[in-house]
Structure 1
Amino acid sequence: MGHDTVERPNLSFGRAGGEPERGTPYARYVRLDELHSLQQPLSETPAELSFIVTTQVMELLFGLLRHEWTLAQGALRADDLPGALAALRRGTHVQDVLVDSWDLLATLTPREFNSFRPLFGEASGFQSAAFLHLEFLLGNKNAALLNMYRDSPGTLAELTAALRSPGLYDDALALLARRGLAVPDTVREQRHQADDAVAAAWRRVYTEAEHAGLLPLAEALLDVAERVTRWRQRHLAAVKRAMGGKPGSGGSSGLAWLRRSAEQDVFPELWAIRDGL
């Protein structure tokens, strides 16, 4: 194939008729025009734009966090502990930004929120497929939640696969088993429950020199878990401030559900063993 016949990549970036987008290389690479066209407030309330931008930023960060946790899983399966720790460390920085993102909504008053809340109908962050995928990766699995995606077959298939596949913690426990620790098979299609055998394995990691090389993994997972709790607590506080105890827009129980979620430990054995260390 001659040089003149090599197929060129399409750099139109959404310009009608395929005409190449003009502007700086930065604008083309980041797709700035497309990006800044995605914010479409439905009311005249100034705070609604902040609500939309914050929600969209969170969705992007959910995707980035899934990317890092998936890389960590791959490294764990390959017995590449340094690679897994690097991905988890990058992920914790993403989590920190996610937690801090709630600051953008911290001053949203009930009057401001109620001025545009009816306009998005039954839409709710609870319906975020990206967020649910992260919950499944954390071991917080609930097959009933898939019902809301019946009309989205692609999303349903992807989440069903995540439900049935090992989560991040499952892959960490599988590594412990390969390193000689007695860990039961924990992969299941329901929420991970604290297991005495798993707790005993982690206790050996913290107390026996033979397994001390796995201690950085335990602490990295605890860093992840702690940030999940911070996220849930900030979510609870933001909702409590903006709308009180009213039911969620998607039909959830609002504050009650968020409070239960905030009180639920992620990777529970890593927390439970601390009483005896």
Structure 2
Amino acid sequence: MAEIGFIGMGNMGYALLKGLLKEFPAESLVFTAKTDETRRRVYSETQVAYTQSNAECANACKYVVLAVKPQYYPAVLKQIRYAVTPEHVVISLAPGITIDSLKDVLGSDRRIVRAMPNTPALIGEGMTGLAYRAEEFSEDELGMVHKLFGSVGRYADVEERMMSAVVCASGSSPAYVYQFIEALADGAVQFGLPRAQAYTFAAQAVAGAAKMVLETGEHPAALKDKVCSPGGTTIAGVAALEDAGMRGAILKACKACWEKSEGMQ
């Protein structure tokens, strides 16, 4: 019997599965996917066994990761309702779908963890928010949940009411960062830097800046100020970004993301 099973092999499920293989043996994992083509492809790439149905996958493991899009939850929950027991730990990756709503379908004694990871988990640099009712789990079970997400990056426990804010901060934001890298590279290409080099310079600058925030513990504004020499090139660029409304645009993106997540309930 496997320890961890994945129902769904979209971008997030696949990223987590691949990330876990760096810490867990393939024999401890199992998955299922919507099509035979996807199942065969993922198996050929990972050597992780698969099942033909969602209920079979749930029966084959203790920790069931629901890695399907929110609109597919009603059908999937109906399929696994009688396969999931009080001994299972169900880990939901869907934004907006609450623990109570999952218990309403699966049973009030079913034990649910809500998790919001992001796709950098694929390379061990993920960030995951976790919400659960601690009294429902043993220390070993919570240890396994933390090990699962710790194996693909960082994690933090949050109150469930904060999960939509986690979607804003890390769940969806890699897409915004990719947009920024692409635009920054385009700016460098405009002035003659070869495109491949421009992507490398821009991406490494973002990676290094993020690491400075995490490792120094300094406020991002203080780190920004250290780059901005009086009358220099950086403060000129910062001023242009402020004039263009960069800060406001990001806040609007977060608001739109939060509202979408909350509307999925």
The bucket for the TM-score relative to the shorter chain is under 0.3
Bigger relative contact order, structure 1 or 2 (CA pairs below 8 A, ≥6 apart): 1
Q: Tell me the TM-score normalised to structure 1 length.
A: 0.25
Q: Tell me the TM-score normalised to structure 2 length.
A: 0.26
Judging by fraction of residues, say which structure has more helix. 1
